[in-house]
Each structure stands twice: as C-alpha cells, then as structure tokens.
Amino acid sequence: MNDVPVTIKDVARELGVAHSTVSRAIHNDPRISAETRSRVLAMAEKMGYRPNAAARGLVCRRMQAIGLVIPAVADSFFGQITDGVDRVTYDAGFSLSLYVTHGELRRELDVLSRLSERRVDGLILMVRRLPRKLLLSLAEQPIPIVFVEPQVVGLGFDCVRVDNRDGERQAVRHLLELGHRRIAFISGPKDSRESRERLAGYREALLTAGVTPDPQLVLPGEYTEAAGAAAAQRVLEMPAEQRPTALVAFNDRIAIGAMSALQQAGLEIPRDMSLVGYDDILPATYVRPQLTTVHQPIEEMGAAAARLLIDRLSRRRGPRANRNGQEVLLRAALVQRQSTAPPGADRLGGFVGQGQGEEVIHSIS
C-alpha cells in the first residue's frame, strides 16, 4: 500500500489537468465535462485518493463532525442516547466525537473551552447544571448547540425534552389506582431539573387524587443504585404507620438499588412494597420482579437531538446559530411489569388490600 496519502495534486498530475479540475470533478461541479469528470473519478479511485479532512475543514470551516457531551457511556441510559445520536450522524455522513464528563463541571467547562478549536461543527450537550452565566455566553457561540433534557427552555437553544411531569404523573396514578396512598418519591440530585419536574408530577398526581403529599416521603437521592439502596434503608427504618407502601424512583438505577436492598431485608416485591422506576433502561427487565417503570424513548432522544443539530447546521451558521431554537417534546409512558401490585397483594391479579380509591382517576393510555 502507498505510504504517503494521495492528494488531489497527485491525481491532477497523473491526468495532466489542474488540481482544481480534480476538486471540481469530485464535487460534481456542473461546469465540468462529463468525460473529464469520469476520468478524474476513475483515476482518483484507482490511486486510492481520499480527501484530507483537515485541509477541507480548514478552508470550509467545518469538519463534518459533531460532538456529544455526555456524563457517562457505560451506563445503559447514556449508551442508548449515544446509539441514537450515532445512527443519525452516521447516516448524514458526520463523524462523532465523544466527550465524557462524568458529571464533573471541570470536564464540562473543558469541553466548552475547546469549542473554538473547531474540531466539531456542533454540539449535543447533556449536562447536569451549567451556571446561568455560562449558559448565556454559550448562546452567543457561533456553533450550534443542542441540549437534551434541559434547563434551557426559553434561551433560544434547540433542545429535546421529555415530558417528565406527565411521566411521573402516570407512575403515581398507576399506584393510586392500585390503592396505594402512602407513596414515597426517591428523588435525583436536587439541582437537577428533571428531578424537580418529576417531583412536580408526583405531587400533582397525589393532589389530584386528594392525597396530601407528605414531605417526609420525599427522599433525597442521586443517580445510582447505591442511592436507591440508601433510600430503601431509610424507608425500612420508618415506623410501620409512616412507612410507604410504594416507592417511585427518579430513575431505574435507583429503583434497582432499592429493590435489591428491600429484598435483602426480607421484603417481597411487590407484595410488601411496590416499586416504580423511570427511564426503562435495558436492565429493567433483568431484575426479578421485572421493573414497572416509565418508558422514555431514549434512543429517539439522541436521534432527535442529532436531527435538530444537523438540520441547523445545514442552514443557520455564524452568530445566530443558537437563536430561535426548536424544542422537540417527547412523551413518556408507563410500562407495567411485575414490581407493582395493590398493597399487600402478590401480583396485580391478587387480592386487594384496600379499596380502589376515593375517586375515579383517569385511565392510563
């Protein structure tokens, strides 16, 4: 194989034409004669010519690459997001750069400061929480940025969101319909917008059903199984009359951790405690009982973000790259599996410990 890469000039020389002719032929410039074009293309093919991305990027000011900024990859949720992004970017001929932040602000800032190295033409951003000030300066960037699940509503960025409030409402309604009244919420980090939205949905569903939310039943959490286990521990320590009969968790990892801890303590799920997750990550069906959870279209979230970005790249560039953003709003939907049942019942079909609730609640679509 050739050692040194073939350039446009090599092809031109071989053919006795100007290198600009080769460039034009490659770009299907309409002014080039059909015959020349095919001669050029054939020779380029024969010599194994491939365009040099750096050179192209330098003059065109775009690298045909997009960046994905994400807290983790070895996490099913983010892995699926990445898959969705990749699918769309690959089909559109972009290459994909990965920036894993591990949720650290330092890393996030680092990525953003590298923005002007222009390695990528646009960014898909999943960050925990950026200082407002930074956010505003980001809006001025000439390169488009798409947020996934954001704190950025109203700032002009493109973004894709899922209706968290509605999703959690569905989860809680389901439990209410099963007859639960004491339902605890294991939250995510308090500074997370998603968590606040889901908490709002939880409270709303309770209030609608005439149940007064008990602040004691809102447990602090994080994103991990360990946080779920810790929260479960706290639940187990509650006096019997205070103890909830059902738990809704900010996400599946928390729910899975809680399930594990609860089972360890000898409880049987769902008989002794109902459990609802959020996300519907792949492992949600691994656990026993399989986790009832709120399904998010995870891959589609990534794909939608990528589409938004590529779409914008093909039109608006420069100073107004982050104005008048579109918002894609996706819906979440409850998936009933095996981790919920009426209080005291073995499975959904089992005996019902309490009545069906004081009032009719919307049926879940």
Partner DNA sequence: ATGAAAGCGCTAACAA
Partner DNA sequence: TTGTTAGCGCTTTCAT
Binding site for DNA (CB under 7 A): 4-5, 7-9, 16-21, 23-24, 26-27, 29-33, 35-37, 49-52, 55-56, 58-60
Closest approach, Cβ 12 to DNA, in A, equals: 7
State yes or no: residue 131 binds a second copy (CB under 8 A). Answer: no
CA proximity to 339, closest of 196, 213, 178, 207:
178
- Considering only residues 282, 326, 347, 356, which one is a binding residue for a second copy as defined by CB under 8 A? 282
> How far apart are the C-alpha atoms of 31 and 116, rounded to whole Å?
35
CA proximity to 166, closest of 189, 207, 197:
197
Residues whose CB is less than 8 angstroms from the CB of residue 298 and which lie 6 or more positions away in sequence, other chains included: 77, 80, 81, 84, 279, 280, 281
Cβ closest to a second copy, residue 84 vs residue 150: 84
> How far apart are the C-alpha atoms of 121 and 317, rounded to whole Å?
10
- Considering only residues 21, 99, 157, 258, which one is a binding residue for a second copy as defined by CB under 8 A? 99
> How far apart are the C-alpha atoms of 334 and 300, rounded to whole Å?
17
Closest approach, Cβ 235 to a second copy, in A, equals: 20
Q: Which does 32 bind (CB under 5 to 8 A by kind): DNA, a second copy, none?
A: DNA
174 close to 361: Cβ distance less than 8 angstroms: no
Please, which residues bridge with residue 295 across strands? 279, 333
State yes or no: residue 1 binds a second copy (CB under 8 A). Answer: yes
State yes or no: residue 117 binds a second copy (CB under 8 A). Answer: yes
CA proximity to 175, closest of 200, 141, 209:
209
Q: Which does 33 bind (CB under 5 to 8 A by kind): DNA, a second copy, none?
A: DNA
Cβ closest to DNA, residue 47 vs residue 155: 47
Q: Which residues bind a second copy (CB under 8 A)?
A: 1, 3-6, 48, 50-55, 57-58, 63, 65, 72-76, 79-80, 82-83, 86, 90, 95-100, 113-114, 116-119, 137, 140-142, 256, 260, 263, 282-283, 286-288, 299, 318-319
